[in-house]
Structure 1
Amino acid sequence: MSMDTELKVKEEIERLLKAGFIRPAIYADWLANIVPVLKRKTGAVRICVDYRNLNEASPKDEYPMPMADMLVDGAAHNQMLSFMDGNAGYNQIMMAEEDIHKTAFMCPGL
């Protein structure tokens, strides 16, 4: 990645560290790559983690999640329907303690 993008990625990683959304790992068994996504209007960087290799290495679920539209249709007669925040929602997903090591990713220059 370019030096400008790398600096923005480092700033975003520092922000996530200070917010407590991520934490350092010293000896990780698994490392994923990050994919910086530049927001054109603001010039800000959003860090996405590429877990495709982890997905390929993980055993397949016998009972996959139903399609999203089926879930919404199933909730049609309820009084309340809520959605997770799509902007920072990934920070709100709780991980099982034994699976946290699988979420490690490489940080450029840190």
Structure 2
Amino acid sequence: MDLDLSSAKLTQKKKNSEGINTQILRSICVKTYRTNITKHHIDVGDARPITLPPYRIWSPKTDYITQGLVHLKEQNIIEPATGPWAAPVTLQPKRDRTMRFCIDYRRLNEVTVRYVYLLPRIEDTLDALHDAEYFSTLDLRSGFWQVELDEESKEKTAFVTHDGLFQFTVMSFGLTNAPATFQRLMNVILSGLKWRCCLVYLDDVIIVSSAFDQHLKDINDV
């Protein structure tokens, strides 16, 4: 991971501190980790399993799904499924005009009991920045995939493709309570630091300080 400070309004001495920060960030950005602090649970109450047929997808575009499955299986993010749940797959265009395959969890979300856990207010976040002079931002790598699912919930994330039925081993995007679970996790991990030297909104972390030397310390602490 490289840091470009060429356009930053810093003295040369401060820019020379780039190496320190690069080493810190390089040590945590090599791979995607799994947390053992919490696991995501999907509570559907007494709802019966929902099995939906796959959407019709033009044959040449199924290559995008195949590539996505290979990528997810290599990282142990998905595994073969045999349960009664099945959600359809849909393709969504990316900025580079290729396609990303997504899971349509709308029916699952309809029967999921929602968590009551509020995300930070934007106004409070902005107020906390009023006297800060130095800022560093971190965007967690595949943040949701760092949270494992409990065994009971895995089968509920199953999705059907032309290559078979698969389920997630980690928290998937599109699940109704995923943001609440992730925000709760981040609040636990950064307790004692949040609002003092960093702000958290899901997988985005901003480190704020009023002095440069303190900022280096805050980066190291976070």
- 1:52 pairs with 106, 118, 124, which one? 106
TM-score between both structures, scaled by the size of structure 2: 0.39
- 1:8 pairs with 59, 64, 68, which one? 64
Are 1:33 and 2:85 matched, yes or no?
no
Are 1:93 and 2:93 matched, yes or no?
no
| Amino acid corresponding to residue 69 of structure 1 in structure 2 | I
Structure 1 residues 81 and 36, CA, compared in 2 at 3 Å: closer, same or farther?
Answer: same
Q: Secondary structure at the match of 1:101?
A: helix
Equivalences for 1:56-67 in 2 at 5 Å? 56-61=110-115, 63-66=116-119
| Amino acid corresponding to residue 125 of structure 2 in structure 1 | D
Higher RCO (CA < 8 A, seq sep 6+): 1
Pairwise CA distance, 1:34? 1.4
Cα RMSD between the aligned structures?
3.0
Kept after mapping to 1: 8 A contact 2:89/2:161: yes
Kept after mapping to 1: 8 A contact 2:86/2:159: yes
Rg larger in structure: 2
Kept after mapping to 1: 8 A contact 2:64/2:100: no
Quick one: distance in 2 between partners of 1:40 and 1:99?
32
Q: Secondary structure at the match of 1:23?
A: strand
Q: Percent identity?
A: 24
Pairwise CA distance, 1:15? 2.1
Quick one: distance in 2 between partners of 1:102 and 1:89?
20
Kept after mapping to 2: 8 A contact 1:75/1:81: no
| Amino acid corresponding to residue 88 of structure 2 in structure 1 | N
CA offsets 1:13-37 (integer angstroms, 9 cap, x no match): 12211221111112x1211111222
Q: Which runs of 5+ in 1 are unaligned?
A: none
| Amino acid corresponding to residue 71 of structure 2 in structure 1 | R
Equivalences for 1:66-81 in 2 at 5 Å? 66=119, 69=122, 73=125, 76=128
Q: Secondary structure at the match of 1:33?
A: strand
Q: Which runs of 5+ in 2 are unaligned?
A: 1-56, 130-134, 165-222
Quick one: distance in 1 between partners of 2:109 and 2:87?
11
